A and B are shown apart, each in its own frame.
Chain A
Amino acid sequence: MRTRLILIGAVGLWCCLIVATPLLASGEGGLRIAGRALYVFFSPVCHQWDSHSFHLCGEKFPVCIRCSAIYFGFLCGIVLYPTLGRKIEQRFSARTIWIAAAAGMIIDVALSTAGISDSSAVTRVFTGGVFGILAAFVLTSLLQELIGSSSVQ
């Protein structure tokens, strides 16, 4: 339970930083500088295109809609792990879960790149969210084991 709380705390902090960035950047003085620093921090992780991002207080999130959905989905996945995730993890192999997680996003990106159908905010949130949740179902037990073993040492 303790390891799961640490994990939720760490991923929650990451998600909080995503939401805090536009809030800080829309502020004045030091807050604005902190917001800009967070944009730089997240810049290697995502393209940060304005048109592909959620906005808060007139400023964009430091990661795009799809990435935001993945991270928040991951957080939801950790929370849902004891009730739903463990069952899925026991029933399917990790490989199957990874393929199922990535399939939606790959199809969405491929259709959009080929010009067959435009990916919208809804498809990005859905496919990213599913990926994040399923990724958490595979990785939660591993991360918990890791936190547990390092705290014992």
Chain B
Amino acid sequence: MILVHTELLLLIQNKIMEQKPDPLMPALYGGLVIAAFWAVPGLNLINCFCCAGVLFGGLLSVYLYARDLRPDMEPLTMKDCLRLGLYSGVVASVAAVAINLMVTMVFGNVAIEMMERIIRKMKLEMPPEFEDMISEAKRQKISPAGAVVSIVVYLIPNTMFAALGGLIGWSLFKPKADDSTSR
């Protein structure tokens, strides 16, 4: 009798609990941050370090989502974090290529030149391959087929590392065991 009563209470509590916020907005912000890490000259060097910018974007989307959760809502789950990371990765792949295309169409290869100037100004010691990389980037032309290939090439690391960023977010922002809202 008591068991049935408790189950009924839990059922009512679940019904009363508000729905979680929409994950699309945090994922969009996370994705745009990742895209900025790919597209902004100088900043894109961060991704040379095991896609750190992508990991950060996934983590950021989880942080933003966790911040929107109120105590009367269902608690954050690992699947939410993973989903947020994956969405961010997909958004980032499309947005990064779109931003790159727009910048190249409007300003030409000014982004590459800007990055070169920043690095020279900071007097960072870059390996000889850096010069080759810069000159190759300056030679690159934009094409619709190239853009599609870029999205596909970037989709795998973006979704993979952003999902990993989401998991890092879960390890940092998961509800504590003694939290009444946790499950």
Contact = CB atoms under 8 A, between A and B. Distances in A.
Interface string B134-176: 0000000000000000000110111001001001101110000
B50 interface: yes
A115 interface: yes
B47 interface: yes
A67 B50 contact: yes
Nearest to A112: B125
B124 A113 contact: yes
B172 A44 contact: no
Contacts of A146: 78, 82, 167
B51 A50 contact: no
Nearest to B123: A115
A33 to B, nearest CB: 16
A44 B78 contact: no
B129 A49 contact: yes
Main secondary structure of the interface of B (DSSP, over half): helix
B125 A115 contact: yes
Interface stretch (A22-30, A79-87, A136-144): A136-144
Contacts of A51: 127-129
A137 B11 CA distance: 36
B168 A98 contact: yes
Contacts of A52: 127
B49 A66 contact: yes
Nearest to B122: A113
B4 interface: no
A44 B153 contact: yes
Interface of B: 45, 47-51, 78-79, 82, 124-125, 127-130, 133, 153-154, 156-158, 161, 164, 167-168, 170-172
Given A44-B157, A146-B78, 15 more contacts: A40-B153, A41-B156, A44-B153, A47-B129, A47-B133, A49-B127, A49-B129, A50-B127, A67-B50, A98-B171, A109-B49, A115-B125, A138-B168, A139-B167, A146-B167
